[in-house]
Amino acid sequence: MSAIIIDGKATSLKLKNKISQRVASLASKGIIPGLAVVLIGDNPASHTYVKNKKKTCEALGMRSDLLQFPETLQEDQLLEVISGLNHDPEIHGILVQLPLPAHIDEFNVILAIDPEKDVDGFHPISVGNMMIGREAFLPCTPHGIMKLLEEYDIDPAGKHAVVIGRSNIVGKPAGQLLLQRDATVTFCHSKTIGLADYTRQADILISAVGRAKFLGKEFIKPGAVVIDVGMNRDDEGKLCGDVDFEDVLETASHVTPVPGGVGPMTIAMLMENTLLSAEKGLAETK
């Protein structure tokens, strides 16, 4: 039996339809959700991602401000830009596109964003609230993964989830959200010895490694749900994930493709966070 292909594009479209209805309802009360995206430097992938964010905002009736700066922008200048956005009442969400140039300290930048506008969910206050299960902006990629599991009726409760990768953006929060849904979670990473011994025990396997087609069927437990967060280029320069998609099809029960799996969900969840921030602002003025 071939695995069910988890369609992130279709799922994100469904979600975006619902978001656009809520945006219209907010607009009828005079509020347009506004997202500011700050982009520094010339990273081609980052340019593509921010372009997609802007396009999506506009398609959903939201405002999108793209603030672009050269690679030479200094950290104190960036902090000033963020401070201005923190005080702009028409901006409900602030996102600084990562990665940043090496001379800028990522943590200082994240810390400068008002947690009320932290639609990336990277601020320590957002992370802390998420950790203890309080209301928080959830980081978009892990939240998108949870939405995909929900859409395909995959309940993490009682399952063994193995997360490969321990980044603050994907690996750690993905494991945390799975734990909150009662999965038993194992983290693997670059120093894990005998990776396949762990992954072959996974009912749900999340890979955020960044190595093209690295995970073949020998890493997969029969019937496992395989979620691929990798965004790599293969030998021919074609976009691909961490998972050797064709190879695992006969072993996994479900698998996300790259492109068209987790990626589109990341942007949809960003839209939802921006909308939530605007809705919250309205509720607080009442």
Ligand X SMILES: Nc1nc2c(c(=O)[nH]1)N[C@@H](CN(C=O)c1ccc(C(=O)N[C@@H](CCC(=O)O)C(=O)O)cc1)CN2
Positions marked active-site: 53, 97, 120
211 is in an annotated binding site: no
Smallest distance from ligand X to CB 22, Å = 21
Q: Does 245 bind ligand X (CB under 6 A)?
A: no
Which residues have a Cβ under 8 Å from the Cβ of 135 and sit 6 or more positions away? 129
Q: State whether the Cα torsion 226-231-236-238 is positive or negative.
A: positive
216 is in an annotated binding site: no
Smallest distance from ligand X to CB 254, Å = 16
Q: How many residues of this chain interact with ligand X, rule: CB under 6 A?
A: 19
Q: Does 138 bind ligand X (CB under 6 A)?
A: no
Using the minimum distance from each CB to ligand X, give the nearer residue, 26 or 177.
177
Q: Does 267 bind ligand X (CB under 6 A)?
A: yes
Binding mask 31-50 for ligand X (x = CB under 6 A): -----------------xx-
Q: Which stretch binds ligand X (CB under 6 A): 94-102, 171-179, 185-193, 222-230?
A: 94-102
Q: Does 256 bind ligand X (CB under 6 A)?
A: no
Q: Does 231 bind ligand X (CB under 6 A)?
A: yes
Residues that constitute the known binding site for NADP(+)? 165-167
**Under the rule (CB under 6 A), what is the footprint of ligand X?**
48-49, 95-98, 120, 140-141, 169, 231, 239, 258-260, 263-264, 266-267
